[in-house]
Amino acid sequence: MKFLPLLTLLLFSTGYLSGQNLVPNPSFEECNKKPNRWSGHSGHFNDISKQWMSPNQGSPDVIWEEAMHKLYPTRKGISFVGHKARTGDKMVGIKTYGCNSGVMQCREYVEIKLQEQLIPCAKYYLEFWLNPVAKSIKVNNFGATVLDKPLIEPFAELLEGYDLVLNESEIVEGKPNEWRKVSGTFVADSPGLFLVIGNFYTDDETKAKSAAGDIPYSFYLLDDISLKQVPNEDPLACLLTLPPGETLVLENVYFDHNKYSIQPTSFPALEQLVSLLEERPSLVLEIQGHTDDTGTPTFNLELSEQRAKAVVDFLIKAGIDTSRLQSKGFGTTQAIADNEDETGRQLNRRVEIKVLAQ
C-alpha cells in the first residue's frame, strides 16, 4: 500500500477554496429519517444518512443522542453512558478491528462525495474526530483516501491497496466524550471527488490495546469531518510532478486592466517558472489564458490569447527555447466560478499552465 508521508509532501495551492469545508453534512446532522436502531447492513446506513454511504458490506451506525440509550436490537457490551456528539446531536459509530475474532462486519467505512473536485497539486488539510466507546478495543490505523470515482465493493470485508492521504499510526484512546483529533495535510495527485474514512489495514497490521471485559472488536464514534484547501508559499513547487495533460494555475501573474502588458509584480513568479524549465529541459508547456465575461466574447478571446502569448514571450526572452512553449486563449469558455460578483470574476481571470511533456 502506498502512503503519502505528511511531512515530506510537495506543497501547492491556488488558495481558491481556503476555509471552505469540502465535506457536505460533515457532522452527520442531516438524516432522511430518525436513527432509532442499529444498522443491520450497509443499506440501513445509506437510507438514514444524507449523502454519506457505506462502500462495503459494513454497516456504520448513525447514533442520535435522543435514542442512543435505547437502540435496538440489543448489542452486547456497548454502553453510551457519558458519550455525546462533538457537534450537534448525531455522530456515527464504526468498527475498525476484530476480523481475526470472527466479528461480523468487522471493517466499516464511510464515504462522501465532496462539494468540489480536488485540484491536482493543491495542498489540503483533513481532520476528523474520534472517541472510542468504553469497552472498545483501542486501535490505530484510522485512515482516509480520496478517489476519482465512488468506491463500491459491496462484498469486501477489508478495503486495502488504496493510496492514503492520511493515517493515524498511534492508538487512539479517550474517555467517554473525550474526543481525539486525527489530522494532517496532503497534496492532491488527481482531481479526487470521493472521500473514504476507515481502517485500510488488516488486524495483524493494526496496533491494538484491550482490557478485561472489552468487546472483541473496536467501536469508535466519528464526528466533525473537515477537508479544506490551504494556502502555500510555493505555488509552482510540484509542476515537475504533474503528468502530461494536467494543468495548474499560474499564481501571482497580473496584467494591466483590459490589456496584455505584464505588471512587474508578476516577474518573481515568471522567473521561478523559468528556473523550473531550466531544471527540466524536457518539460513542454502550453500557457493558457482565461477571462471573466466582462466585454464581448470576441474581445475576451483575443485578450486571453494575447495574455497567454505575453507570458510565452517573457519565457522566450529569458532563454527558454520556443519549441518548448505554446500559447492558447479560451476567453470565457472555461469559467471555474460564476461571474455574478467580483470574487467569481477574479477567479475566472487567470493564466494556467498545461503540461504537454515531462
Distance from C-alpha of 300 to C-alpha of 303, rounded to nearest angstrom? 5
**3-state percent breakdown (helix, strand, coil) of the chain, nearest 5:** 20, 25, 55
Which residues in the chain belong to E strands, given as ranges? 61-64, 90-97, 110-113, 123-132, 138-139, 142-147, 166-168, 180-187, 194-198, 208-209, 218-229, 247-249, 284-290, 325-329, 350-357
Nearest to 211 by CA among 134, 284, 101, 288: 134
Domains of the chain (ranges; CATH) run: 42-229 (2.60.120.260), 239-357 (3.30.1330.60)
What pLDDT shows up at residue 17? 40
Q: pLDDT tens-digit profile of 187-215?
A: 888 889 999 999 999 999 999 999 999 99
* Rounded Cα distance, 313 and 320, in Å: 9
Residue with more model confidence, 345 or 354: 354
Q: Which residue, among 91, 86, 134, has the nearest Cα to 110 in the 3D structure? A: 91
Helix (H) or strand (E) holding 252: none
CA atoms of 183 and 167, how far apart (whole Å): 8
Tens digits of residue pLDDT in 79-110: 999 999 999 999 999 999 999 999 999 999 99
Please write the tens of the pLDDT for every residue from 8-29.
Answer: 222 223 333 447 999 999 999 9
pLDDT tens for 39-64 read 877 788 999 999 999 999 889 999 99
Structural contact between residues 110 and 222, judged by C-beta atoms closer than 8 angstroms: yes
Q: How far is CA 35 from the centre of its chain?
A: 28
Per-residue pLDDT tens for 257-314? 899 999 999 999 999 999 999 999 999 999 999 999 999 999 999 999 999 999 999 9
End-to-end CA distance of the chain: 26
Percent of the chain at pLDDT > 70 equals 94
Backbone angles phi, psi at 91, to 5 degrees: -155, 175
In this predicted structure, the answer to whether residue 250 has a pLDDT above a threshold of 70 is yes
How far apart are alpha carbons 124 and 6 in whole angstroms? 11
> What's the confidence (pLDDT) of residue 3?
35
The Cα–Cα gap between 196 and 323 comes to 43
* Contact partners, residue 239, CB within 8 Å, separation at least 6: 121, 248, 273, 276, 283, 353, 355
Mean pLDDT, rounded, for 242-246: 88
User: How many other CB atoms are found less than 10 A from the CB of residue 2?
Assistant: 7
CA distance 36 to 64: 7
Share of the chain above pLDDT 90, in %: 73
Three-class DSSP category at 72? strand
